[in-house]
Amino acid sequence: MAETSREMHASQSSVEISINAKGLWSAKVKAYADTVDDAIKLAEQKAVELELKINSRNTIT
């Protein structure tokens, strides 16, 4: 019988925030969960939070 290997990952997320030469903010969200649907929901929630933060930082004066 062939041996199988299964790697388990704890659910975690990461966020990368960048500021370009013009001082504009951008971000990237990575979300991990037990299911794809849960990961998508988590990523969307965090993306909304980031959008609010980025929009407040990227105001044109």
In terms of residue numbers, what domain contains 42?
Answer: 32-61
| Residue 44 is assigned to a structural domain of this protein | yes
- Please say whether the dihedral angle defined by the alpha carbons of residues 28, 29, 32 and 36, taken in this order, is positive or negative: negative
In a domain, 25, yes or no: no
Domain count across the chain? 1
What's the confidence (pLDDT) of residue 5? 47
CA angle, 21 then 26 then 31, to 5°: 145
CA angle 54–58–61, rounded 5-degree value: 155
Model confidence over 2-38: pLDDT tens digits?
555 455 455 567 777 888 888 888 888 888 888 889 9
Residue 37 lies in a domain: yes
- Provide φ and ψ at 33, rounded to 5°: -155, 180
